[in-house]
Structure 1
Amino acid sequence: MSGPFPARLHVLLARDAATGVVIRRGPTRKVCVIGWNRSNDSFEVGQWLYGRIYERRCDLSPDGKHFLYFAMNGRWDSEVLGSWTAVSRAPYLKATGLWPKGDCWNGGGLFIDNREFWLNDGYGHKQFLDGSGLKQRRDYPWKDSYGGECPGVYYLRLQRDGWELTGRESNGKRSRITTFRKRINDRWTLLKRAHETIDHPVGRGCYFDEHALKSKDQDTPLPLHEWEWADVDAGRLVWAAEGKLFSGRLDAKGLTSSKMLHDFNDLAYERLTAPY
């Protein structure tokens, strides 16, 4: 494509509340977290980071109040050692719990419930700040494991949130594809192909998703190449493409009532202070 790439979006939906956070990346070293009120589809910019948030190692508490994230700014001689896992009040980044890491292996984690979380530790985390009021789960609470990097958090989160893992396959020596599906309604299913690859397309990272819609009346899924994130939200379909967030509904004829909820491309980095 010509011109700058659109902003890259990844979204976390609160399981027990009509809220979410949008993680917007672009340009490469600038990322912000945006609060999403799903009751009225309004959005509020929380804070920016000059660095990287590893969106597939992040999570949102079921009530939508706490954000758990893994970030890197490369300042390896700083107090946070250049990379860290943190808990904050969504949609802000100011840490209430902080674990400096010092590298980009492992990191991040998942919420067990509103009061307890699991830290994707591996090794190297050292607690620096403990003011979140949350409890850290010390044992590994799941039966399956997908390694310490992004899939090791992301695939667990998908399955916890209603996605069914349907297969894993190698796609060459340096690539793997893991497939998921999620029911939308009696007729339609949302399909997700999660890629792990060094040979990724331009504008995508080594971890990226592809999506398709499958009707019970058709053998061949409908590919949706531009969708980088998609999920089901209270019966409607929501998805991100080209730096924008959309919603729509599916009936016998296909996708209807499609509309853009917000265009995040024009947002620019600014220093913002959390209100706590």
Structure 2
Amino acid sequence: MGSLYCIFARAADRAVIFRRGPTHQVRLISWNMKDNSFEPGQWFNGRIYERKSDLSPDGTKLVYFAAKHEPPIPTWVAVSSPPFLTAHLLWPKSGTYDGPSLFESANVLGLGVYSSDSDLTPRTGDQAPPGFSVVARPYLGYFYRREDHDRMVRDDWSVFAGEPKYRSDSDEAPVLYRKKIDSQFAMEMRAFNRVTHYGVRDANGNLIALNADWADTRGGRMYFSRDNKLFQMEIGTADPVEIGDFTDMRFEEIAAPDWAKSW
């Protein structure tokens, strides 16, 4: 059984879906949120750290952290055009300790690096387009706090209780995030180390559990995933509506089309 994890473009009705599973396999899927249509893309035989990844404001570029843990490049950060993973820019890494990379704007990428003086040069032959720049996002203890914290806060989640830190012990108190749905309801996320619980909190303080693998809200709507299916739900409606079922997908080699091979 796999799971879904999604990232919204903050200035467009676009999103990407990481369809994970079986173990060490993940597929990238583009999601048009205007009409809830989907474009399945490439598979990756390895690990993508989706919480260290980000989508450009217009949704046309993805920065992701990937790992195969084998030579010649054990881990790397790359920029691609969803739903494909073919790298336009790639930075080789040797481990997984660097923090997340984030698009600071449409034309500026904050690259997760160990220190402010780390080399920002991509692999030989890769070149960013004119007007696009890369700046350092130093380590700053990201190994000891949630990898997606900065992206979540940027995208209107706030810490309601607890500390947004990495938890080595599941008995530690979770960090509680909330994001406003409308004037009466808020999305809630209780995050431990690798276990996250999502729910909806009403104005009276009642919590409705979503039993979801991932959840977020936009435009007064709730979106969540469960068992490789994606759902949409309106406040005040009784039942969620299934908008995507990605259960039956199986790994296959898919070549990127020409438009996705270069910036």
Q: TM-score, normalised by structure 2?
A: 0.87
- What are the within-5 Å matches in structure 2 for residues 136-155 of structure 1? 136-138=134-136, 147-149=141-143, 151-155=145-149
Q: Give the counterpart letter for 1:63 in structure 2.
A: D
Cα 1:26–1:139, aligned 2, differ >3 Å: closer, same or farther? closer
Alignment correspondent of 1:231: 216
Calculate the aligned-residue CA RMSD, in Å. Answer: 2.3
**C-alpha distance in 1, partners of 2:168/2:233?**
38
Alignment correspondent of 1:100: 92
> Is 1:85 matched up with 2:77?
yes
Q: Give the counterpart letter for 1:233 in structure 2.
A: R
Contiguous gaps of at least 5 residues in structure 2: none
1:12-45 CA distance string (max 9 Å, x none)? 0011111110001101111111000111111111
Contact 1:146 1:152 in 2 (8 A): no
Cα offset for 1:139?
5.7
Which piece of structure 1 moves more, 207-216 or 44-53? 207-216
Alignment correspondent of 1:211: 198
> Is 1:246 matched up with 2:231?
yes
Alignment correspondent of 1:273: 255
**C-alpha distance in 1, partners of 2:168/2:227?**
30
Cα offset for 1:7?
1.5
Contiguous gaps of at least 5 residues in structure 1: 1-5, 197-206
Contact 2:188 2:201 in 1 (8 A): yes
Alignment partner of 1:149: what SS?
helix
Cα 1:139–1:262, aligned 2, differ >3 Å: closer, same or farther? closer
**C-alpha distance in 2, partners of 1:50/1:172?**
28
Cα offset for 1:98?
0.4
Identity of matched residues, %: 31
Contact 2:220 2:235 in 1 (8 A): no
Contact 1:247 1:261 in 2 (8 A): yes
> Is 1:37 matched up with 2:32?
yes
Contact 1:120 1:148 in 2 (8 A): no
> Residue 189 of structure 1 is aligned with which of 183, 186, 198?
186
**C-alpha distance in 2, partners of 1:27/1:233?**
29
Cα 1:171–1:26, aligned 2, differ >3 Å: closer, same or farther? closer
Contact 2:113 2:137 in 1 (8 A): no
Instruction: Give the ranges of 4+ consecutive aligned residues of structure 1 lying more than 4 Å apart after TM superposition.
Output: 123-126, 169-173
Q: Give the counterpart letter for 1:148 in structure 2.
A: Y
Cα 1:246–1:173, aligned 2, differ >3 Å: closer, same or farther? closer
**C-alpha distance in 2, partners of 1:104/1:223?**
32
> Residue 27 of structure 1 is aligned with which of 22, 30, 43?
22
Alignment correspondent of 1:135: 133
Cα offset for 1:52?
0.5
Contact 1:14 1:60 in 2 (8 A): yes
Alignment correspondent of 1:221: 207
Q: Give the counterpart letter for 1:214 in structure 2.
A: R
Cα offset for 1:178?
1.6
Cα 1:164–1:89, aligned 2, differ >3 Å: closer, same or farther? same
Whichever structure has more strand as a proportion of its residues is 1
> Residue 166 of structure 1 is aligned with which of 157, 160, 184?
160
**C-alpha distance in 2, partners of 1:221/1:186?**
16
Contact 1:182 1:189 in 2 (8 A): yes
Cα offset for 1:107?
4.9
Cα offset for 1:150?
8.6
Alignment correspondent of 2:69: 74
Contact 1:208 1:228 in 2 (8 A): no
Alignment partner of 2:162: what SS?
strand
- Which one has more relative contact order, counting CA pairs under 8 Å at least 6 apart? 2
What is the total number of aligned residue pairs between the two structures?
249
Cα offset for 1:92?
1.1
Which piece of structure 1 moves more, 119-128 or 92-101? 119-128
